Chain A
Amino acid sequence: MSEDPTDDKIVQLHGHEDEALEALYRQAERPEPPARLDAVIRQAARTAPASHAQRSYPWVAGIVTSVLAAILLYQLYPGSLPHPPRPAGKQAAPSDLPAGQTGNRLQRSAPADKAERAAPATESPAPAVPPQPHYDMLLQEMRKAPPAAAHHPPLPGVPESSTPGTQPSQHRAGPGTGPGHAPEQELASIVGLLSQGKTAAARTAWLAFRRRYPGYDIARHVPAETARRLEALAP
């Protein structure tokens, strides 16, 4: 539709007629929408914002809950989580082993574990190391610490519940291995008590430890400063 040059004149000429036309139209009845439509639409409008919020929050909450649950399970039962795949040809994955061998693998001795940790350095650029629990990290810290360290700050807090009986099964193996023996765990527990200032409990546990493991060389497993503090408990 093109613009006619005489449009403005026509509009002016018919302006009053158009107004009268509009006035006539406004005399028409003004039907309203049915009440059922009002109800449906207003209900939809009321539920829409809420439903949107309900869509997003459970999604976020579900993710957060799952992550927290995974972290909690990881902390409580680190050995029950699937281990990353090991280099091919080295050792069968737990799922490939018979049921009886899976447990043995988890309970392999510490020297074997050390040898296994050292070997992959030449076989694989990035060997998969199973995730270590906090407690195990403490033990590794104790092993790696230089014996001649002049000062050793308090070790990371060991959970009070980390008694030997509650430790994962793979930590039961080690020097002087045997059913029910876990000298490293007991030692770590004693160090934890010491670092928490529970000297009396640490002394009691230390004496019991010395009775059970009279020839245990703690200098190989704890820093020199920590060994000195332990020895000072019961000279």
Chain B
Amino acid sequence: MPIRTGTTVESTEHGAPRTGLVRQPVRGMLARMESDEQLMLRYQAGDADAFDTLYVKYRGDVYRFLLRQFEAAIAEELYQDIWMRLIQSRRRYAATASFRTYLYTIAHNRVRDYRRRHRHAGAQTWKDSGDCDPPDPVDPERLHHDRQALAVLLEGIHRLPAEQQQVFLLKTQSGLSVDEIAEVMHASRESTRSRLRYANRKLREHLRGIWP
């Protein structure tokens, strides 16, 4: 559902703006020409319209990043909390940091805190050993279609260990580079690559015989 804010920016899968509703064309064009960092600095200075532009651009990605990990009610709670934290910490933002990295760092920290507090209440996940438990038996005849394969993929993502899950989503869902993911998760580049590799392998094995 696009937000009609008077800007011309809408959310895309990777946060890239695309042409949308045009109410104030000039203002929208200017907003698109500005970098996320410039917009954040404008918001830091009190320009709420700059926040709107950033929000429209990232709202979907952040929401889906959470929704792939948690049930809807929890995802919504975390989603609101992440944006509130961004608003509250706007004065601490420095232009030297990428806004996208800054935003997802807040998101990662919030998810990590939530998982720590609800360690024993989380959903069943695969062990973080690199070995995969066999996937649940699936009727091959039902899974010839990509949509069905997709359902299995999403179920597999949901069962990934938390760190691998986030690395995969930050890469695939949010379009962050390995270096950016490493920065967001306070991890080394090597461990980030390793987590991504394990996540992909588990998901491929989860889809084995079903897709492609």
Contacts and interface: CB of A to CB of B under 8 A. Distances in A.
Contacts of B191: 1
Contact of A7 (B51, B84, B197): B197
B150 A45 contact: no
6 contacts: A1-B130, A7-B194, A18-B200, A21-B200, A33-B59, A38-B55
Interface residues of B, number: 51
Contacts of B190: 3
A90 interface: no
A37 B76 contact: yes
A166 interface: no
B52 A45 contact: yes
Contact of B211 (A1, A7, A24): A24
B43 A45 contact: yes
A32 interface: yes
Interface string B11-42: 10100000000000000000000000000000
B212 interface: yes
Interface in B43-74: 43, 45-48, 51-52, 55, 59-60, 63-64, 67
B3 interface: yes
Interface residues of A, number: 36
Question: Interface SS of chain B: helix, strand, loop or mixed?
Answer: helix
Interface string A210-235: 00000000000000000000000000
A27 interface: yes
- List of 9 A-B pairs having minimum Cβ-Cβ separation, nearest first: A49-B46, A33-B63, A1-B194, A45-B51, A46-B48, A41-B83, A3-B190, A18-B200, A22-B172
Contact of B59 (A21, A22, A38): A38
Interface of A: 1-4, 7, 10-11, 14, 17-18, 20-22, 24-28, 30-35, 37-38, 40-42, 44-46, 48-50, 53
Contact of B80 (A20, A35, A37): A37
A3 to B, nearest CB: 5
A24 B149 contact: yes
B1 interface: yes
B212 to A, nearest CB: 6
Contacts of B51: 42, 45-46
B115 interface: no
